[in-house]
Amino acid sequence: MADRAEIGVFGGSGFYSLLDDVREVKVDTPYGAPSDSYFLADVAGRSVAFLPRHGRRHTLPPHRVNYRANVWAMKALGVKAVISPCAAGSLQRAVEPGHFVVCDQFVDRTSGRADTFFDGPIVSHVSSAEVYDPELRRIAIEVIREHGITVHERGTVVVIQGPRFSTKAESTWFSDAGWEVINMTQYPEAYLCRELGMAVVNISLITDYDAGVLLGTEAVTAHDVLEVFNTNAARIQQVVLEMIRRFPADLASLGAGASLAFTRGDGHAASPEDIRIFETELRAQAGLD
């Protein structure tokens, strides 16, 4: 099996344990080491790279994950589309523990995270108006529903810094804003995928109500989150594997790479090299040319 993949999955270690002929590879990046090795496998004729974003033994807290290295390595492997499931809390009564939410928006409440590849001299302003790919979201919703899981077709995930959970006041603030989901890893992971022209879809697995959502609800604990997440682990694994089977044959048709056109901020906004310059640099650093 070549060290290449067209579809990437960020998640727990359980995904690749379901598959045969899995190959473990290490990928070096200009941004340091990724969270772990990448696990390459074939799923229904599609080449897939799996990465446990917190490390296989969950040794990396959310604010210490090297998101740039993780995403860059996916791109270097050839990935064009990314599935990004995560454990998350609910900010609304109707979004119950055990439900899945296919988010269409995020709100960034993190601080100090390295959250762009464009630190210069290449300057690029990539839109985050619609980070999550609509076609991959459609596929996710379809598959989740077919598996008999309650799914919310839209949702805004507010991403907090971690590792602490919200205070009740913060939780009430987020809930009153109308946001549905709270998590610690979707930013900058999803946005960085967009910066490198990879389509991305999130599935939030609801593990608990956040502290200020329901009057009298006990404060969430890490044990509570893991207990519900482990209950859902088999379901999300099957959903992800089925989604991979239904992804478009031509992932370039999703338009994620094309969306980077005319984002340059250095006076070459109309240049035909708009995308190629940075992609050429990335391929050279990866030793792919």
Give the Cα-Cα-Cα angle 109, 52, 184 (nearest 5 degrees). Answer: 15
Q: Is position 278 within any domain? A: no
* Structure tokens given for 275: 């995308």
Q: Is position 208 within any domain? A: yes
Contact at 8 Å (CB) between 189 and 67? yes
Q: Is position 279 within any domain? A: no
Q: Is position 256 within any domain? A: yes
CA torsion 61-5-131-57 (nearest 10°) is -10
pLDDT at 18: 64
Q: Is position 35 within any domain? A: yes
* Structure tokens given for 206: 């609801």
pLDDT at 234: 80
Three-state secondary-structure class, residue 17:
helix
Q: Is residue 20 annotated as part of the catalytic site, yes or no?
A: no
CA 209 vs CA 89, 90, 93, 213: distances in Å: 6, 5, 8, 6
pLDDT at 248: 97
Domain that holds residue 71: 7-271
pLDDT at 105: 98
Point out the catalytic residue in the list 20, 42, 208, 274. Answer: 208
pLDDT tens-place string over residues 146-193:
999 999 999 999 999 999 999 999 999 999 999 999 999 999 999 999
Q: Is position 258 within any domain? A: yes
Distance of alpha carbon 233 from alpha carbon 63, whole angstroms = 23
Longest dimension (CA), the chain: 59
Point out the catalytic residue in the list 36, 104, 133, 210. Answer: 210
- Listed residue (45, 37, 41, 43) closest to 73, CA to CA: 37
Give the Cα-Cα-Cα angle 228, 190, 163 (nearest 5 degrees). Answer: 50
Distance of alpha carbon 261 from alpha carbon 264, whole angstroms = 8
CATH code of 199's domain: 3.40.50.1580
Q: Is residue 108 annotated as part of the catalytic site, yes or no?
A: no
Count of the separate structural domains present in the chain: 1
Q: Is position 64 within any domain? A: yes
Which ranges of the chain have pLDDT less than 70? 1-2, 12-18, 215-232, 266-289
CB count in 10 Å sphere of residue 98: 14
Say how far residue 154 (Cα) sits from the centre of its chain: 16
pLDDT at 11: 86
Q: What sign does the CA torsion over 92, 93, 98, 104 have?
A: negative
- Listed residue (44, 103, 38, 89) closest to 212, CA to CA: 89
Q: Is position 110 within any domain? A: yes
